[in-house]
Amino acid sequence: MNLLVASDIEKAWADRMILRGCDLTVEGGEIVGLVGPNGCGKSTFLHILGGAVGHDGGSVAVRGRLALLAQDPALDGATVGDAMGTSLAWHRTLHTDWQAALDAGDLQRAAELQDRLDHVGWDLEHRIDELLTRVGAPDRDTSVAVLSGGERRRVALAAALLAVPDVLLLDEPTNHLDADTIDWLQGWLQGFGGAVVVVTHDRYLLEAVATRIVELEEGRCVSYDGSYTDYLITRAERQAALQRAEDARLSLLAREAEWASRSPAARSTKQKARLERLEALQSQGRLARARSFSLDLSTGLKQGQTVLEGHGLRKAWDDRVLFHDLDLSLLRGERLGILGPNGAGKSTLLSLVAGRLEADAGTLRRAPRVRIAILDQHRTGLRDTDTLFEAAGGGATEVTVGDRSVHVASLLGRFLFPSSMHGVHVGALSGGERARLLLARMMLEGANLLLLDEPTNDLDLMTLAVLEEALLAFDGAALVVTHDRAFLDRVCTGVLQFEPGGRVVRYASRTQAQAAEAAHKAAAREQELAARDAAQRKAEAARGPAPARMSSKDKRELEALPERIATLEADVARLELELSDPAIWADDRGAALTATLKEAEARVAEAWARWEALEALAEG
């Protein structure tokens, strides 16, 4: 069943046409990854689908309820609990409608609504705290006014999932999430039965959950069935086929143009038709060239040079120790990824390395000629009031790239900013465009130590690939805080894992750190279970033995005991009668019968004791 249908969507911002007739249909159970370069209109299209932004042409039809996670979400209410409660309005309406149907005697309608409540659950309030904890958001009593940007997004994500919509639209849902939460979200999406459209730079997430990739290309949607890997292969094949068609068109155009340039006497009577054909070929649009740029971060740093060295580093906020006894060595060519849950102290470590903070203990030494460049997760270092041209050149018209002087306009063009954008204020740029501008400035700085805090946030897949290639070729060193698993696996030569208790351990790779973390968690679980069992045994010993309860078997035994006792006593009476005969003592039979009597008497005594015990059990 089609849950979302968008037809011929058009959208322009001022004189810039963003969407030129986008068509998209999504069925229940489909997860569509929406991809394309920064500025192509992905977020705009997603907001149009969600009804948050109007469109200039076309139509959008949604079957059922819809939830949208925006990159900069607005939260309703004064507290986190208020914002989460808004997402349950549909559930409260369902309850109200069910009660109204019952009161009106509409039993069929009431039964239908009851089935829906049985399916989604009658009480979802308990899920508020569960989801807030799961995504690492503040508790429900926290004021919305004091939330950071990352906290707002985590609350908004929890609210979108709590809504249990039929259509779920997610714009960069993994931003500001740690690795464990991303894994959990991945599993949640795989089990979600509705329609999903997701914009994300997380390639592992796309590969794991996407059933189809839709690329925004020149303002239109191009659909590719299958996973992200399938998309890369099919897209490359499609681009090659388009290029062959374009080459054939250009070749034919050249031949027709050569014919048209001959003298009229050399033309046949078919010249009119051929000239019309020439005009048709010339009017065809050219094949759009793939947008890309290059990023060169080379510094000339000598091989093997130590860039950074720290011993016994410690940092705490009030009584909370973020890390202690941290030893850190960073050589030229090394790129260390920094892993750990949100709030563990990863960004604090970068600030300490940058010299913005001082360690509480330990020593940190930077090489004499180290030049540091920082890309923080808030994308600071830009003034919103500057134009793009002013921000790139620092007020100058010429900048130095390597050993050459380059005009700022050329630099911006190299980073895919057309001349029409040079006068745009920085405050109007998208998150991805701000990141691309900062990458351009980073290249100009000639830094040999890069501190990158969530560098992949808001980047499109093409820019992400360019950044990865630049870092792989980088001859300096880098510390990278990121939860992008594909980025870590491809770029980083090692990882620093923030572990419980303020320990920071170095591992060769993310997978090794992941295995160690899993082993720590398993050991902690075993220790917790052992402690729980010991506490339970201690409590049971303090209480004494628990009163026994009569089982059905015991009841049957008690009912049968009177007859059994009577039988045993009859055996004893018979044996006693036999022993009263003097003739029995004439041989060895008397001694043997005496022994048998004692055994029979013991059985009688045992049966009576058992009867008393079962009677006491029945009365207790």
For the chain, domain boundaries? 1-65+165-226, 248-283, 306-380+433-509, 552-619
pLDDT tens, 345-380? 999 999 999 999 999 999 999 988 888 999 888 788
Distance CA(213)–CA(216), nearest Å, equals 10
Find out whether 463 and 436 touch, Cβ atoms under 8 Å. Answer: yes
Distance CA(40)–CA(21), nearest Å, equals 13
Q: State the fold for domain 552-619.
A: Helix Hairpins (1.10.287)
User: Which pLDDT value is given to residue 378?
Assistant: 79
pLDDT tens, 254-289? 776 776 666 554 455 556 666 666 566 666 666 555
Q: Nearest 5 degrees, angle CA 130-CA 131-CA 136?
A: 105
Residue 2 pairs in a beta bridge with 27
Distance CA(594)–CA(394), nearest Å, equals 118
Distance CA(327)–CA(314), nearest Å, equals 10
User: Which pLDDT value is given to residue 266?
Assistant: 47
Q: Which of 120-134, 217-231, 303-317, 585-599 is predicted least confidently?
A: 585-599
pLDDT tens, 397-456? 888 877 788 898 988 888 888 888 899 898 888 777 888 888 888 888 888 899 999 888
Task: Assign 302 a pLDDT band (cuts: 50, 70, 90).
Answer: low
User: Which pLDDT value is given to residue 546?
Assistant: 54
Residues 560-572 as b/e (b if ≥16 CB within 10 A, e otherwise) read ebeeebeebbebb
The owner of tokens 């050993």 is: 403
Q: Which of 23-27, 330-334, 569-573: highest mean pLDDT?
A: 23-27
Q: State the fold for domain 1-65+165-226.
A: Rossmann fold (3.40.50)
Fold match, 1-65+165-226 / 306-380+433-509: yes
- State the chain's maximal CA–CA distance in angstroms: 158
Q: Which two tokens stand for residue 564?
A: 């059994």
Distance CA(106)–CA(122), nearest Å, equals 20
Distance CA(53)–CA(43), nearest Å, equals 10
Distance CA(468)–CA(234), nearest Å, equals 23
180 C-beta neighbours (distance < 10 Å), count? 14
Q: Which of 323-327, 371-375, 562-566 is predicted least confidently?
A: 562-566
| Closest C-alpha among 181, 161, 173 to residue 198 | 173
Q: Which helix (H) or strand (E) covers residue 401, if one does?
A: strand 398-401
Find out whether 435 and 443 touch, Cβ atoms under 8 Å. Answer: no
| Closest C-alpha among 384, 408, 411 to residue 394 | 408
pLDDT tens, 106-145? 888 988 888 888 887 888 888 888 899 999 899 989 999 9
User: pTM for the complete prediction?
Assistant: 0.74
Distance CA(47)–CA(72), nearest Å, equals 12
Q: State the fold for domain 306-380+433-509.
A: Rossmann fold (3.40.50)
Q: How far from 141 is each of 162, 171, 295, 355, 387, CA to CA, in Å?
A: 17, 26, 46, 36, 41
| Closest C-alpha among 122, 139, 203 to residue 462 | 203
